[in-house]
Amino acid sequence: MSSSNIDRRDFLRVLGISGAAATLAGCGNTSIESGAELVESYVQPEDFVVPGVGVYYASTCTQCGSGCGIMGRVREGRILKLEGNPQSLISGGKICGLGQAGVQVHYNPDRLTTPMIREAGAFKPVSWDKAMATLTARLGSSSTLSGDQIAVLTGEISGHQKVLLGHFLESFKSANHIVYDALSPAIGQAANKAVLGVEQPVLQIDKARLILSFGNDFLGTGPSPVHMAAQYARFRKAPRGTLIQIEPRMTLTGANADRWYAIKPGTEGVFALGIAHSLLQHQEYAHAVPAEIAEALKQYDKDTVSEVTGIHADAISHIAGMLWEKSPSLVLSGPSAEGHVHGFNNAAAILLLNLVLENRGKTLQGQASHPFPQLTPASGSTTALAKLNQAMSAGQCQALLVMGANPVFTAPTFVPFASNLAKVPFKVAFATQLDETAHQCDLVLPLLSPMEDFGTHVAGYQPSGVELAIQQPLMERLYPETRGLGDILLDLLKQRQPEAYKAFPDYYAYIKTAVTKAKPVFKSKSSDDDFWEDALRNGVLRLEAPPAALEAHAATVKVGKPQALETDVNFPFFFVPSVRADLRDGRHANLPWLQESPDPLTTVVWDSWVEIHPTTAAQMQIREGDILEVQSATGSVRAKAYLFPGIQPDTVSMPLGQGHTGYGRYADGMGVNPFKIFDPMYDERTGELALYATRVIIKKTGEHARVVKDEGATNLQQGRKLVATMAADQAELAKEISRVTQ
Amino acid sequence: MKVRMKNILVWLSLLVLCGTATGEPFVQGGAIGSQTDDGYNALGPVVEQPIEFPHNTHAGQMGINCMYCHTYARRSAVSGIPRLDKCMGCHKLIESVKDKPRIKKLFEYWEKKEPIPWKKVHDLPDFVRFNHERHIQRFYFREDRPVREVCGYCHGDVASMTTARRVKALSMGWCVSCHQKDHLENAATTKTSNGPNDCWQCHK
Amino acid sequence: MSLSNLIKNWSSLRVKRPYEDQYKDKDYKWAMVIDLDACTGCNACTTACYAENNLPVVGREAFSKGQAMHWLRIERYWGEGEHMDKFPDHGAQFLPMMCQQCESAPCEVVCPVGATHHTPDGLNSQVYNRCIGSRYCSANCPYKVRYFNWWQYPERAWPNPLEQQLNPDVTVRSKGVMEKCTFCVQRLTEAKNRARTEGRRVADGEVTTACAQACPTSAITFGNLADDKSQVARIWERQQIKLASDKQEKDENLRGYRIFEELRTYPSVVYLERVRDSEA
Amino acid sequence: MSKVHTLALYNDFEEAGRTLQELKAANLPGFRMDDVAIKSPIEHPELSEMLGKRPVYVQLYTLAGAVLGSTVGFTLIASAQANFLLQIRGGRPVVPIPPDMVLTYELFILIGVLMTVVGCFIAWKLPGNRSTLYNTSISEDKIGILVKADPLVIPKINEIFSRHQPLEIMGEQGR
Amino acid sequence: MIHTTDESDIQIERRFVPKAKDISEDIAWAQINKDVLRSMERPRLMYWVIFLASLALFSFGVYCEVYQYQTGLGVADLENPQVWGLYIATFIFWIGMSHSGTLLSAILHIMHADWRKPIYRFAEAMTTFSLMTAGLFVLVHLGRVWEFYYVVAYPNERWVWPNFNSPLVWDATAIGTYLTSSIVFLYFGMIPDLAICRDNAKGFRKKFYWFLSLGWQGTDRQWANFRVAYLTIACFLIPLAVSVHSIVATDFAVSQQPGWHITSFPPYFVAGALYSGCAAIITLFIVLRYVFRFEAYMTMPILDKTCRLTFAIAMVWTYLNLIEYASVWYGNDEYAKQTLIFRATGTYAPYWWAMNFLGSIVPFALAFKSLRNHLPTMMVVSLLLNLGMWLERFMIVTPTFAHGYYPWTWTGDWWPSWVQWGIVAGSFGWFSMLFMLFCKIFPTVSMYEVKEMVYHRFMARKARA
């Protein structure tokens, strides 16, 4: 591989002319042709570039924050498919569906191809010169903005992009880097911090013999689903661990549980304390908690807990018995337990079980300390958005830069983000594709896709040691009029601080310098160029580091009276939004593969639906496909009913992520957006939006439509042996041959 | 009566033979090494290329091995067009022809760093995968046949052409007729085998 | 030639398959094992299949009519009886279902034009260009894993520049042809060609299908059954599954089974039973 | 070319039958019963019997066709299956007997039927020279007796014809 | 015994009500020619009404097919697993329809049932045209019609052959054979009549008939060879017809699907075919009798016999139908049993019950002489029987797809789109258009055979006298 920078970056540019045209003809070209197509023709390719042979390049997946290492298969200059990068411990050579769809971000037909400026209400394509001129007129060297007058709104972001953003804001003496995550795990992180001393402990799922999970969807939407799925696979091998899931609406993880319990929303903490109470009956655990907590726990006898949670009383002692039997165990809290007014308390109560069971250091560990804290991700929250919203509303914010966040779509109605946004005089969106928020901006700058740009990423969840993930282009840019975020930021910074950045002709040079500077940390003795080439080849820089210890603060757990959430006569149903592992908060709704990928539990595609328990549905005489109006205090949406047994009968659930109005052909008009019916409920402790605390009423509209799903007329096996199930004590897993354990 | 019976038998067996003869598909490939029209009107159209490349000079007069330029043939499914720097590697040094219009064109492309838009001459349908590597490995390396014969079986006597022109049918029956033949496993033995008779070997 | 072939090889032309040791002397017999206990139903495999095999995205309208083109679909069944009181107490039952590459495939017999047949590697092939779209194969498939191109997808499913993602090793199917899981035959062919050039057999793990490669829990194991030492062959052996048997005689605590074995299709895919802790 | 035709038309079969009997009894020189043909709108076997034995060979063609169809059919199908690109399908033998039998059976019938028709056409001497002596009323309701005989005996035959109230007697003109 | 008294004569009169004659022996041969030839010249106005209606229906079918051809079969709302839909159901229906011609002309010919003579010609035409219609469905149903020739076994530059194992190839061969043979049979049996046309036509039509009549002059040699050949073809045609519908049945019986893999399917299909064919003959009998003023030839006694034959076949079909249910019900195949139960109780249950009612109960109308002699009733009944038989085919194809082996793909509420209905309707238009054209160009009543019939009966009466 050539070490010359220019060659390295241009290795794809010199490729041939046609490429894709040939394949699309498909069955069309059915006979021998002569002279109709062009041959792949090269000027000066790398030696290993052979037409007809795919070459794999390592990079990093940016579809979610997990930071999985990926390999892209490149042939004739086109990126064809992504695979997991075995060099990366996070992905372990595996990849999820969301990651696979990364290529569709790149090839999306609705991608932005040129900068656009809003003129007289409509976007007009302009040249980069004009766009940059507009940008620098406001934010360049002559800019007078400072402090709170400027803000940058992003989603979760890490690596050198984050660093550059920070520097950019610094140059305005501002620290307004607002990181917004509509599905922020901030409540749980706060609880972790309070009880265990760290925001995100490392879960050793494979080491646990019993996992008790309160709505934690670690297989679907957790902090690192691919890694945890691999751990889960080992967890299921001999000696086989048992998974018990307790949640109001079945998640993907719940669907894989050995035992699944439906619980009344918001009472997870009560149930956890009930188990704690039951566990404390054992001598072994008697001194695990402070005396006053032990005293308070006496209110949590199993009948009371059963009444509050709606789970049979025997289950409590049964689970407690299993926890006692199967050690080490792991107790997890998840979004459905945390997204309540008392969500922090719920999470803390659940974490208390880990302390009682002494799982610290066994199945729960602290993350290794990161040598480059400036690169670690800024974790998002909803409070940050609320703050920005206030500032915008007050007219403080003069310039707003948005990237990777779409609050116009995800902010609830009581956060009037869209209308406040209009008060900001200069709004710039950096995006690969227009979304609802970008549609409201004044200037839209088209970014390179993750398949075209360099970058560095640090995952928020580092399972073991530390990984610095490298992202490199897998393909020559599709549209010449697109640029990388890093390059734009550098340009701006060069305006603000010419001296500091003159050494870097572009972002590539910047990160290459920055990464090679870290060489000593990785104890590499090779030359700078070789170190960089190795990093690119492996796609990841790994540093083995011991896990940090966890603290134990049992006393921070508040044990009040066991109470159910009071019922609301006007809105009798709990509303549990479900987060789809592929669409997440809706940012991936523009990817056709994910739209067509059936939701694992309902198999619905391209749509929104309302999950309702069959018994409730029978009472209300609702059939599948009846269009229901789901009304909360703040708004209402309409969607088709889907009868779903994995849901608490007082609860209805809708998936998030659909209902886009300005996000391209694959997203627009598909389903509805339940973000818009959330009640203004906040976690008492953190002030975060409580996503699971909304109450709704269901009304039949009398309309009916066919639910678009893969499932046929039945969802039972009808006496056929399709999925056979064996009891765990019968199966001799230890004797089996398995790829996972080898 | 006896004679008649015999007649009928002869007549019937003739008919049976006719039946099986029609059972044989009628297209046959030419012999290996046959390098011109195989008698099935398979001559393709003349394809105009951006540069009228003289195969007759390179492969004919100079006697350059096909795979010196079509270097991917032995390691990829496609034989490929030589990369531009390969052409330049020689032609930079060959002063004598530098002024010829074709070479001037070549230099133009090189200076623009633009690949030459060669057109495909032997373009199989898109649902077919023909693997050059396997054929070259088998016949050139293992069976040790002359390269012009190995390539020429499908491409004809390119050494006598300027720009290449299709001279063989390249139809399915044409391919199969050769797969059906007994080919030596390698130069050292008399053991023979056929080409694959599996649809998926060629159909994708 | 054909007649002499007929007379010369009469006995071999009359062999019924499968029989035990059918692949003993062969180089390849591709087979698969899917561990249902490891499968979480996450759909990574299906998306990987879309990416690898140029599967068209049909859109909401066509999907609602049952015209989806997922070669590999994840089915979700709910338990019955004791497993389903009011709630699915033991979770959902996920089943990745794709072409089972039957050794005695019902689809092969009925195709009028022979567009589907059995390859020497034990795959159930589908030659798109030969297909005339009678759909008899799909009608006769007990697993219903054959998918028909009801629309001209090449024109609808890949608006520019999405078509650049298409895998050049796989045909883009036009309207009116049947298609199905191929065990990623383009990968197998490439690996076989490479191995043959190097004068060896494809090593275990050298090639795998897109679904197996993606699966985050490694629930799918793919390999060569003709190679005794391959992972797949060892699992088949350990699970006491015989390819040419329509009723397995195996120990009770072995999890391996094939779906609809009683129909005597002799599938090449072995599923390992899902395990649930009955005490939990 | 020495013989010429003559045709008499009769109203019904009885009359025609009597005519034939008389012709037969007359035993004229240069006239053979074999040269007599009846032309009638429907078949009348009794009348035909008077003309003597006139064997029909169509069945032989049928037999030949059936044998040909089955043997060639089977060989063709089986050798096509044993082609180089032999295809194993559904675990069945490459040359399976039951399907080939079904197809052989169909070919047996097809070729049998076609050969029957061909045989019949040959028996009708198609495409051959037709006698011009014909009257359209034959296809309606009249019965014709066509005689081919030596020109010398024609008047005698016509005389016999006219004894039985013929509607019309037609002779060949211009020869 | 021969000794009869007046008394016993009276007794006999009481026991045997004198039968109406199949045909009047007194019809002059010339009159037959005149009547039949007139039908080809000047039919009633209804002819044109029917013809134009068929043409319109056919045009709509063509429109649907063009739309489907250009867009893809998706417009037919076919899906996985409902891959066949109405096309195959209607295909079997038309194939079945074709069997009546063979029944009337070949079987009854061999058995010398001479009442068939006035009606067999149009029955044979029906055979040919319904086969042609059925063949169209094979084409309509294909995903890539333009590659249809792949099914044909001929040496080609691809070196590949069709799959002789496939019942569809048997189908293609059998239907090809049957179509060829029945066209030959129809044409061959028509040669004497074509000669009549030739003798009466003028101008262009004379040339046309001259060519087709192959120089027929009615000589004794021609007649003798004609008789033997005709009889031989008839003999071939009977097993052929049985084999054709058995082979169509093997499309299902050879498959592995529940509800299809049934041993009794071949005879069941054959019985169903004869049944629907006979019902169609009744319909067309009534239509032709009116349109072409054939009251003297297509007489009520003949209709009566046809109806009785239909009734008998209906009972055979009913029996085989029950046998099919019974063998599934008492069999050990759980899946097939579930499919059967689904047929009777599932989404398509109304059609299943309707089919059983129309197929097994309605034919009892044919058991009553008074009803048999009432033309409007017979018209309605015969149409209902055919509707029942169409439903039978629909109920064979659809429920197995909707409720096959694999529960995940069960479809609860699949229903064909308007395109499918349009093409099915168009096929009826196509059939009746062809049939009406045929009636106008060729003699629909076999003149020479009616003459024979009249002659023989006349002679018999004379002998009796």
Token duo for residue A15:
């490729």
Instruction: Give me the pLDDT at residue E29, please.
Output: 85
Task: Give the separation between CA E20 and CA E25, rounded to whole angstroms.
Answer: 12
Instruction: Give me the pLDDT at residue B9, please.
Output: 64
Query: Do residue E409 and residue A712 have CB atoms under 8 angstroms apart?
Result: yes
Quick check: helix, strand or coil at residue B141?
Answer: helix
pLDDT digits (tens, 9 = 90+) for B55-107: 988 988 888 999 999 988 988 888 888 888 888 888 988 888 888 889 999 99
Q: Which amino acid is at D56?
A: V
Domain that residue C96 falls in: 25-272
* A16, part of any domain: no
Domain that residue A319 falls in: 186-365
Instruction: Give me the pLDDT at residue B3, please.
Output: 46
C-alpha distances (whole Å) from A532 to each of A477, A515, A516, B60, C254 are: 22, 7, 6, 47, 50
* A711, part of any domain: no
Query: Do residue A735 and residue C238 have CB atoms under 8 angstroms apart?
Result: yes
Do A and D make contact, counting contact as 3+ CB pairs within 8 angstroms? no
What is the helix (H) or strand (E) element at residue A471, kind and residue range? strand A466-471
* Residue C118 sits at the chain B interface (C-beta within 8 Å): no
Q: How far off is chain C from E371, nearest CA to CA, in Å?
A: 43
Task: Give the separation between CA D89 and CA C264, rounded to whole angstroms.
Answer: 14
| Judgement on whether residues A194 and A175 belong to the same structural domain of the protein | no
* B34, part of any domain: no
* A565, part of any domain: no
Name every chain A residue with its beta carbon within 8 A of the beta carbon of E149: none
What CATH number is given to the structural domain containing A396?
3.40.50.740
pLDDT digits (tens, 9 = 90+) for C180-194: 999 999 999 999 999
Least confident of B4-8, B148-152, D118-122, D170-174: B4-8
Task: Give the separation between CA A432 and CA E446, rounded to whole angstroms.
Answer: 79
pLDDT digits (tens, 9 = 90+) for E207-236: 999 889 888 888 888 888 999 999 999 999
Token duo for residue A600:
């694992």
> What are the beta bridge partners of residue D36?
D147
User: How many domains does chain E fold into?
Assistant: 1
* Residue B128 sits at the chain A interface (C-beta within 8 Å): no
Which residue in chain C is spatially nearest to D76 when comparing CA positions? C3
Instruction: Give me the pLDDT at residue D128, please.
Output: 67
pLDDT tens sequence for chain D (175 residues) = 467 888 888 888 888 888 888 888 887 777 788 888 888 888 888 888 888 788 888 899 999 999 999 998 888 888 888 888 878 888 889 899 999 999 999 999 999 999 999 899 888 887 765 667 788 888 888 888 888 888 888 888 888 888 888 888 888 764 4
* B151, part of any domain: yes
Contact (Cβ atoms closer than 8 angstroms) between residue E280 and residue E100? yes
Nearest CB among C44, C63, C93 relative to A596 is that of C63
Nearest CB among D76, D80, D86 relative to B197 is that of D86
Query: Do residue E405 and residue C260 have CB atoms under 8 angstroms apart?
Result: yes
Rounded to an integer, the average pLDDT of E2-29 is: 61
> What are the beta bridge partners of residue A96?
none
**Residue C34 scores a pLDDT above 90:** yes
* E10, part of any domain: no
| Judgement on whether residues A152 and A237 belong to the same structural domain of the protein | no
Mutate to test the interface with C, among B75, B143, B178, B203 (most CBs of C within 10 A): B203
**Residue E12 scores a pLDDT above 50:** no
What CATH number is given to the structural domain containing A631?
2.40.40.20
Token duo for residue E213:
């009549």
Q: Give the sheet arrangement for strand A69-75, strand by strand.
A: A55-60, A69-75, A78-84
Task: Give the separation between CA B183 and CA B196, rounded to whole angstroms.
Answer: 12
Name every chain C residue with its beta carbon within 8 A of the beta carbon of A715: 76-78
Nearest CB among C43, C51, C216 relative to A598 is that of C43
pLDDT digits (tens, 9 = 90+) for C96-108: 999 999 999 999 9
Query: Do residue D93 and residue C16 have CB atoms under 8 angstroms apart?
Result: yes
pLDDT digits (tens, 9 = 90+) for C237-264: 999 999 998 888 888 889 999 999 999 9
Name every chain C residue with its beta carbon within 8 A of the beta carbon of B196: 120
Do B and E make contact, counting contact as 3+ CB pairs within 8 angstroms? yes
User: In this structure, are strands D143-149 and D4-10 parallel, antiparallel, or unpaired?
Assistant: antiparallel
Which pLDDT band holds residue E19 (cuts at 50, 70, 90)? low
| Judgement on whether residues A325 and A226 belong to the same structural domain of the protein | yes
Token duo for residue E164:
């002789």
Contact (Cβ atoms closer than 8 angstroms) between residue E419 and residue E85? no
Contacts of D154 (CB under 8 A, 6+ apart): D4, D6, D147, D171
**Smallest Cα–Cα separation from C1: which of B22, A400, A39?**
B22
Instruction: Give me the pLDDT at residue A24, please.
Output: 39
Least confident of C58-72, D46-60, D104-118, E307-321: D46-60
- Across all residues in chain E, what is the average pLDDT? 88
Task: Give the separation between CA C153 and CA C172, rounded to whole angstroms.
Answer: 9
pLDDT digits (tens, 9 = 90+) for E64-121: 999 999 998 999 999 988 999 899 999 999 999 988 888 778 888 888 888 888 888 8
Mutate to test the interface with A, among E338, E403, E408 (most CBs of A within 10 A): E408
Mutate to test the interface with E, among A707, A718, A721 (most CBs of E within 10 A): A718
| Judgement on whether residues A501 and A353 belong to the same structural domain of the protein | no
| Judgement on whether residues A601 and A638 belong to the same structural domain of the protein | yes
Token duo for residue A340:
């309540």
User: How many domains does chain B fold into?
Assistant: 1
Query: Do residue A722 and residue E334 have CB atoms under 8 angstroms apart?
Result: no
Query: Do residue C117 and residue D89 have CB atoms under 8 angstroms apart?
Result: yes
What CATH number is given to the structural domain containing C55?
3.30.70.20
Name every chain E residue with its beta carbon within 8 A of the beta carbon of C149: 72, 143
Q: Cα(first)–Cα(last) distance of chain A, in Å? A: 34
Q: How far off is chain C from D78, nearest CA to CA, in Å?
A: 7
What CATH number is given to the structural domain containing E111?
1.20.1630.10
Nearest CB among C113, C139, C144 relative to E150 is that of C113
Mutate to test the interface with C, among D75, D85, D92 (most CBs of C within 10 A): D92
* Residue B42 sits at the chain E interface (C-beta within 8 Å): no
Residue with tokens 């990984």: A467
| Residue A228 C-alpha from the chain's centroid | 14
Task: Give the separation between CA A504 and CA E23, rounded to whole angstroms.
Answer: 110
Task: Give the separation between CA C105 and CA C267, rounded to whole angstroms.
Answer: 8
* Residue A214 phi, psi (nearest 5): -95, 80
User: How many domains does chain C fold into?
Assistant: 1
Query: Do residue C185 and residue B199 have CB atoms under 8 angstroms apart?
Result: no
DSSP string, B31-98: -TT--S--SSS--------SS---HIIIIIIS---HHHHSGGGGTSSS--PPPHHHHHHHHTT-GGGT
Give chain A's residues under pLDDT 50.
Answer: 1-28
Token duo for residue A72:
């892209």
DSSP string, A131-189: HHHHHHHHHSTT----GGGEEEEESSB-HHHHHHHHHHHHTTT---EEEB-TT--HHHH
* Residue E30 sits at the chain D interface (C-beta within 8 Å): yes
| Judgement on whether residues A359 and A389 belong to the same structural domain of the protein | no
* C63, part of any domain: yes
* B100, part of any domain: no
Residue with tokens 């007697």: D169
Name every chain B residue with its beta carbon within 8 A of the beta carbon of E160: 172
Helices marked H in E255-368 — which ranges? 265-291, 300-330, 334-345, 349-356
Q: What does pTM read for this prediction? A: 0.91
The Cβ of residue A516 has, within 10 Å, a number of other Cβ atoms equal to 17
* C134, part of any domain: yes
Nearest CB among E402, E407, E411 relative to A720 is that of E407
**Smallest Cα–Cα separation from C29: which of C241, C179, C197, C218?**
C241
* C108, part of any domain: yes
- Identify which has the larger pLDDT, E440 or B37: E440
* B42, part of any domain: no
Q: Which amino acid is at E222?
A: Q
Nearest CB among C5, C15, C105 relative to D90 is that of C105
Model ipTM value: 0.90
| Judgement on whether residues A361 and A393 belong to the same structural domain of the protein | no
Which of A536, A556, A581 terminates a domain? The answer is: A536
Quick check: helix, strand or coil at residue E221?
Answer: helix
Domain that residue B68 falls in: 55-81+118-202
Query: Do residue A727 and residue C278 have CB atoms under 8 angstroms apart?
Result: yes
Token duo for residue D28:
């004229």
Residues 130-159 of C with CB under 8 A from E: 130-136, 138-140, 142-144, 146-152
Nearest CB among D83, D134, D144 relative to E161 is that of D83
Q: How far off is chain B from A45, nearest CA to CA, in Å?
A: 7
List chains adjacent to chain A, taking adjacency as at least 3 C-beta pairs closer than 8 Å: B, C, E
User: How many domains does chain A fold into?
Assistant: 3
Contacts of C174 (CB under 8 A, 6+ apart): A26, A27, A28, C149, C152, C153, C154
Query: Do residue D79 and residue C117 have CB atoms under 8 angstroms apart?
Result: no
* B189, part of any domain: yes
Task: Give the separation between CA D66 and CA D68, rounded to whole angstroms.
Answer: 5
**Residue B160 scores a pLDDT above 90:** no
* Residue E77 sits at the chain C interface (C-beta within 8 Å): yes
pLDDT digits (tens, 9 = 90+) for E278-304: 999 999 999 999 988 888 888 888 898
The answer to whether the Cα torsion of C220, C222, C225, C230 is positive or negative is negative
Quick check: helix, strand or coil at residue A549?
Answer: coil
Query: Do residue B197 and residue D72 have CB atoms under 8 angstroms apart?
Result: no
Mutate to test the interface with E, among D106, D118, D134, D143 (most CBs of E within 10 A): D106
Nearest CB among C10, C102, C118 relative to D88 is that of C118
Task: Give the separation between CA E273 and CA E95, rounded to whole angstroms.
Answer: 7
B57-93 in b/e form (b: 16+ CB < 10 A) is ebbbeeebebbebbbbbbbbbbbbbbbbeebbeebee
Nearest CB among B20, B179, B199 relative to D75 is that of B20
**Smallest Cα–Cα separation from D46: which of D156, D147, D143?**
D143
* A408, part of any domain: yes
Query: Domains (ranges, CATH) in chain D?
Result: 4-54+129-171 (3.30.70), 58-123 (no CATH)
